[in-house]
Amino acid sequence: MTVLNNLYKLLNGHFSWSDKVYIKSIPDKAPSDSTFIFITDSTQQLKDFGSNAFRSMQYDLEIQIFYSTKSTLDYDSVELGLMRFLISKGYVVSNVRGRMQDPDTFQDYQTIIVSKTERGI
């Protein structure tokens, strides 16, 4: 199973504030009055070189939280809770980009980049 699919399984249904988790693409019919998580691959890097071989790979994954246009959630609490959960599961939060608003749906969203290193590849 891919690292992206593992993250999907970890997040899907875990948070009561999230109505859905989408992986790789958001359907055109995704309602803007729902709060959802969208995850995609970002980059991969070979790591731990020795004797002309690599021994691990670092996977960077992008997590976006799209908030309902009717949301009353405390965004800071939601995002900090998600990051703490991911850290407890062995992910490293490497970047938080800051909230923006989607120009098409007018949903506020936050982008969080996490990485996970798989050893013994």
At CB < 8 A and 24+ separation, what contacts does 1-8 make? 3/59, 3/61, 3/116, 3/118, 4/39, 4/40, 4/41, 4/59, 4/61, 6/116, 7/39, 7/61, 7/63, 7/91, 7/114, 7/116, 8/39
Any idea which residue has 């690292």 for tokens?
3
Predicted TM-score (pTM) of the model is 0.91
Q: Give me the percent of the chain exceeding a pLDDT of 70.
A: 99
Q: How far is CA 83 from CA 14, 46, 52, 97, 104, in A?
A: 13, 24, 35, 13, 27
Residue of 109, 12, 22, 24 lying closest to 68 (CA atoms): 109
Write the pLDDT tens digit of every residue in 37-74: 999 999 998 888 888 888 888 999 999 999 999 999 99
Looking at residue 121, what is its pLDDT? 67
**Over the chain, what is the mean pLDDT?**
94
